[in-house]
Amino acid sequence: MESKVRSFVRKGEVTKTGGAGGGYVQAVGAKPGCHGVSLVSSGLDDLDHILPLRNPLSLIVGGGIPVGGLVMVMEDIEAPHHMPLLRFFMAQGLVHSQPLFFATPLPSPQAFLGTLPAIASRSSGAASDNSKEGDLRIAWQYRRFLNEQQALEERRYRYEFCNDFDLRKPAERSLFTGATIKCESLARGAHLDSLLDHCRVFISNLARYTGEGQLVGRLAFQSLCAPQCMQSCTDWEMLRFLQSLKSLLRVSNAVALITFPATLLTPSMAIRWQHLADILISVEAVLDDNKEMAGMLTDYPDILGFLRIHKLASINTQVPTIPEAAMHAMKVVRRKKLVLERLLFAPVDATSGDSKTGGAAGLLCGRPANASSPLDF
């Protein structure tokens, strides 16, 4: 029998070597994205929606961090806004029982683990369900299905792709027991060869899980080029470490999040670091009591900082994805939830202030620059 010869075979099957090289990863917390890449959540719902892969399906599927990808966050030296991003990333990994590797220049990384947020409680949802139950007077036949629905929701809750986290509460201790967490402190300087070795061992341990029980590992590096870390290595050694790490990630079931203060590097080094990233995000501080910004943005008092998307992942594809909105505002809602919102510009008041700030209405109502007569508009 002649076998059908096909020139292109779609990479959709589950393979042993996971990550971006193979097909989809069947693991807790991972969902298939497009271009044959699996996605894991970053921990922040809004950030996942900002990271889509270009596909109409992705609007339904949503986005996330591709498995095997490297996310880099450029810190602002004046504000600690990269810390919540790290916390959500790590907390999401804990909830999905994903192994975690954490390196930081803090002297005690375990103390940082204590600041991870807990999952927001769902008590409000349950209360509304009960009230709905009482309300079913006409459709009373469906009352018995309500309970089943509730039980199904509870079970699915554990395996939600992206959980809601509550910043006020620390993560439950039960999540830490049985979780594979490796911490490294870089307070005495980053000894890069041993650090790379630890990463290699961590990632190779992930490969042991095959088939149905595959696990996606998460590596988190905080402030990787902080001065404390750089005292024992040169810029080029650090770059070499990053390249090795990226090559390790590509052929494995792991994602990495690295935050680094870009202004503390020389400009050429900073650009090289930025080119290495699959997803590049930067956080910026916002000035307090800035009248101009207060006039431009409606919710200026609530904004903690700005998040800018520079680059989105284009693994297994030639076409780069361009984000819809480059800049988002980070806000904490009711002190417990971090949201990323598009910037809302205040309605322009053409009568006040300089014509520059009242420009939009002036431009709309004024005549075009090269109009010959004042009556043209």
Partner 1 sequence: MAEAVARLLRDGVVVGEQAPAVMLCDSLQTRAAPALFTHFFASLTSNIAAGRAQAKGLVVVALRSTPESYTSSLDTEKKSRSSPGHCLQLVDCYTDPLGWNERIQGAEKLGEEGQQHTELEASSAYSTLCHDISDLNSLLSIVLRSGQGILLTHFLKICLMDALMQISFLLRYQSVAAITNFLSALRSHEQVSALMWVVHGDLHEARVVASLEYVATTVIHIKPQIHLPGQMLETQHKRETRRYGRIYVRQKKRNGRVREQVEEFQIENSGVKFAPVTLMTEMHQAVSLISSIPKVQFNLELSDKEREDRSKVVLPFEHQGDGKEVRIYDGRPDSVQSTFGSLNVVNGGSRHPEVVGSVAHKPSGVGEIHYLRDSDDERPDSDEDPDDDLDI
Q: Decide: 186 and 107 in contact? Cβ < 8 Å.
A: no
Q: In the bound complex, what is the minimum distance in angstroms from residue 116's beta carbon to partner 1?
A: 18
| Cβ-based nearer residue to partner 1, 194 or 290 | 290
11 close to 197: Cβ distance less than 8 angstroms: no
Q: Which is nearer to partner 1, 255 or 270 (CB)?
A: 270
If the CB atoms of residues 147 and 355 are measured against partner 1, the closer one turns out to be: 355
Tell me how far apart the alpha carbons of residues 283 and 237 are, in angstroms, rounded to a whole number: 26
Pairing type for strands 279-285 and 70-75 reads parallel
Least distance in angstroms from the C-beta of 47 to partner 1:
17
DSSP one-letter code for 140: G
> Nearest approach, Cβ of 94 to partner 1 (angstroms)?
24
> What are residue 165's DSSP bridge partners?
119
Q: 97 or 228, CB closer to partner 1?
A: 228
CA 44 to chain centre: 6
To the nearest whole angstrom, how small is the minimum distance from the Cβ of residue 362 to partner 1? 6
Closer CB to partner 1, 174 or 373, in the complex: 373
Shortest CA distance to 181 belongs to which of 192, 169, 191, 173?
Answer: 173
Residue closer to partner 1 by CB (options 190, 312) is 190
Contact criterion met (CB below 8 Å) for 68 and 255: yes
* Bridge pairing between strands 165-170 and 117-119: antiparallel
Contact 284, 303 (CB under 8 A): no
Check residue 350 and give left, alpha or beta (phi > 0: left; psi -120 to 50: alpha): alpha
Min dist CB 304 to partner 1, Å, is 5
CB of 211 vs partner 1, minimal distance in Å = 44
**Smaller CB separation from partner 1, 177 or 351:** 351
The dihedral built from the CA positions of residue 71, 74, 77 and 79, taken in this order, carries a sign that is negative
Distance in Å, CB of 342 to partner 1, minimum: 20
- Burial class of residue 264 (count of CB atoms within 10 Å of its CB; 0-12, 13-18, 19+): middle
Q: What is the crossing angle of helices 123-135 and 143-158, to 10°? A: 170
From the CB of 323, what's the least distance to partner 1, in Å? 23
Q: What's the number of CA atoms in the CB half-sphere (13 Å) around residue 123?
A: 1
Based on CB atoms, which residue is closest to partner 1, 93 or 261? 261
Structure tokens at 39: 């996605």
Amino acid at 9: V
Distance between CA atoms of 282 and 270, rounded to whole angstroms? 13
Residue 30 and residue 35: Cα distance in Å, rounded?
15
Residues interacting with partner 1, by CB under 8 A? 77-81, 189, 226-228, 230-231, 261, 263-266, 285-290, 304-305, 350-351, 353-355, 358, 362, 365-367, 374
Minimum distance of partner 1 from residue 328's CB (angstroms): 15
Taking the least distance from each CB to partner 1, the nearer of 134 and 267 is 267
| CA-wise closest residue to 343 among 326, 355, 359 | 326
Our CB check for partner 1 shows the closer of 170 and 323 to be: 170
Give the length of the chain: 377
CB of 107 to partner 1, least distance (A): 8
